[in-house]
Amino acid sequence: MDTRPRTMTEGLTGRLCRASPTVMQHSDMSPVEPGFVQDPYPFYDRLRAAGPLAWWQDYSMPMASSHAVVSALLRDRRFGREDPAPPPRPAHQAEFWAVEDHSMLELEPPRHTRLRAQVLRAFTSRRIAGMAPEIAALAETLCDGLSGKCEDIIAGFAQPLPVRVIARLLGVPEADAADLLRWSNAMVGMYQAGRTHGDEVRAAQAAREFTAYLSGIFAERDRAPRDDLISQLLAVEADGTLSRAETNATCILLLNAGHEATVHTLGNGVKALIEAGLWGVPVTDGLVEEVLRFDPPLHMFTRFALEDVEVFGHRFARGDQVGLLLGAANRDPAAYPDPARFDPARFPDAPVPVSFGAGLHLCLGAPLARLELRIALEVLHARMPNLRIVEPPRYADIYHFHGLERLVVEKA
């Protein structure tokens, strides 16, 4: 089994970063090492102390770990998500890339601008805010199914809530949630450290099955449009501003991103609140932001240099990559004093966490994620006060993501 860390470049395209590491300090830490999986923050502290950029040997690329540098590079238009010189891809990944190549998450202007604008026409703040009663009712229903005794809050609550919310928003049957989860987990596995050939095959198969499934949904909406996001996207497609491949990729992106991060955020947040002795306190904006800062669901995002550029004392050639450690930036003591302490009172004076990115690729689902997090915690607080953890929590080996395998709790 190939257990090397896979980055957006090396793992998906077979090419290592070309930047020279000679001008910066080196650090070794396998992202699949058990100690790192359970607690990556001490390693982030070492990287941050090494300077604005430090070379992570296991990924063969420079990493930014301070809040200031990560924030700057997220907004620097000389870096982007789209590889300016992509190498050939293995044939067994073709069906995965048939979807991913049309995802706005992986694109730069002008195509990214066009796609994002069309999605925002349907993914409006008014529509999101209008879902609050539905989210609350769904959270109440899920709580009805919890016994409160040795309950895995991930499987019983954190996982089904966001996938059913995004299914309702898009307009796909909630009864298909199990398939949506299976396809999503397989596809995001392409971005995890230690990915194997088998994982790549499963990701391609999931992309094929997901596309076939959506084709059936699209045909239904073409015959009988509804008041849902898919119908609105198809109307945009009919105007000629989206292709069918782009509509398909956008729906898959929203389904995948619309639940994956929220599952981890909810689980990590419940754990953090209980361990900090704050379970049951009022759910304020500050508490939501502190949950997002303290133990975020996505710890690394990468960017390609779109031109030859020198930043923070390091010269990048066009096509080189840099890793942006979101989890490290959120624990930077220069931005958040005593960063390992869970403290909702630090907001609104503290900087906005970088959990949703920033700049051109700021997550457009951030308002929905914040709404879901707030409502979910409010309902759980009300229905399950005095909650305690009854089994040592363990994080899953899913880096670049960071989320719990299980969180077994009970009412005290």
Q: Roughly how many angstroms between the first and final C-alpha of the chain, as a whole number?
A: 43
One-letter amino acid for residue 143 of the chain: C
Distances (CA, A) of 123 to 23, 229, 272, 356: 44, 7, 30, 16
Higher-pLDDT residue of 13 and 303 is 303
Please, what is the angle between helix 160-170 and helix 177-188, to 10°? 100
pLDDT at 10 over 80: no
Higher-pLDDT residue of 148 and 3 is 148
State pLDDT tens for residues 327-343: 999 999 999 999 999 99
pLDDT at 357 over 90: yes
pLDDT at 405 over 80: yes
Q: Are strands 404-406 and 408-411 parallel, antiparallel or unpaired?
A: unpaired
Distances (CA, A) of 178 to 173, 184, 278: 11, 10, 33
One-letter amino acid for residue 166 of the chain: I
Answer whether residue 320 is part of any domain: yes
- Residue 9: pLDDT band by 50, 70, 90 thresholds? very low
State pLDDT tens for residues 74-83: 999 999 999 9
- Compute the average pLDDT of residues 85-108: 93
Number of H helices, E strands in the chain: 17, 13
pLDDT at 119: 84
Answer whether residue 1 is part of any domain: no
pLDDT at 5: 40
Q: What is the DSSP string of 213-262?
A: HHHHHHHHHHHS--SSHHHHHHHHHHTTSS-HHHHHHHHHHHHHHHHHHH
pLDDT at 26: 76
Number of C-beta neighbours around residue 367 at 10 A: 15
124 contacts: CB under 8 Å, gap ≥ 6:
none
For 136, the domain range is: 10-411
Answer whether residue 178 is part of any domain: yes
pLDDT at 358 over 50: yes
Residue-averaged pLDDT of the chain: 91
In contact, 31 and 61? CB cutoff 8 Å: no
Q: Read off the CATH number of the domain in which 44 is found.
A: 1.10.630.10
Residue 99, H or E segment: helix 94-100
CA 199 to chain centre: 19
Lowest mean pLDDT among 60-69, 172-181, 209-218, 320-329: 172-181
State pLDDT tens for residues 208-231: 999 999 999 999 999 999 989 999
Answer whether residue 2 is part of any domain: no
Answer whether residue 5 is part of any domain: no
- Residue 23: pLDDT band by 50, 70, 90 thresholds? low
pLDDT at 398 over 80: yes
pLDDT at 4 over 80: no
Distances (CA, A) of 175 to 163, 172, 180: 11, 9, 10
pLDDT at 127: 86
- Residue 120: pLDDT band by 50, 70, 90 thresholds? confident
- Residue 1: pLDDT band by 50, 70, 90 thresholds? very low
- Compute the average pLDDT of residues 373-399: 95
Integer Rg of the chain from CA: 21
Q: How many domains does the chain have?
A: 1
- Residue 14: pLDDT band by 50, 70, 90 thresholds? very low
Lowest mean pLDDT among 85-89, 338-342, 387-391: 85-89
Q: Are strands 321-325 and 61-64 parallel, antiparallel or unpaired?
A: parallel
Answer whether residue 3 is part of any domain: no
What is the percentage of the chain residues whose pLDDT exceeds 70? 94
In contact, 174 and 168? CB cutoff 8 Å: yes
Answer whether residue 4 is part of any domain: no
- Compute the average pLDDT of residues 107-125: 88
- Residue 149: pLDDT band by 50, 70, 90 thresholds? confident
State pLDDT tens for residues 296-321: 999 999 999 999 999 999 999 999 99
Answer whether residue 71 is part of any domain: yes
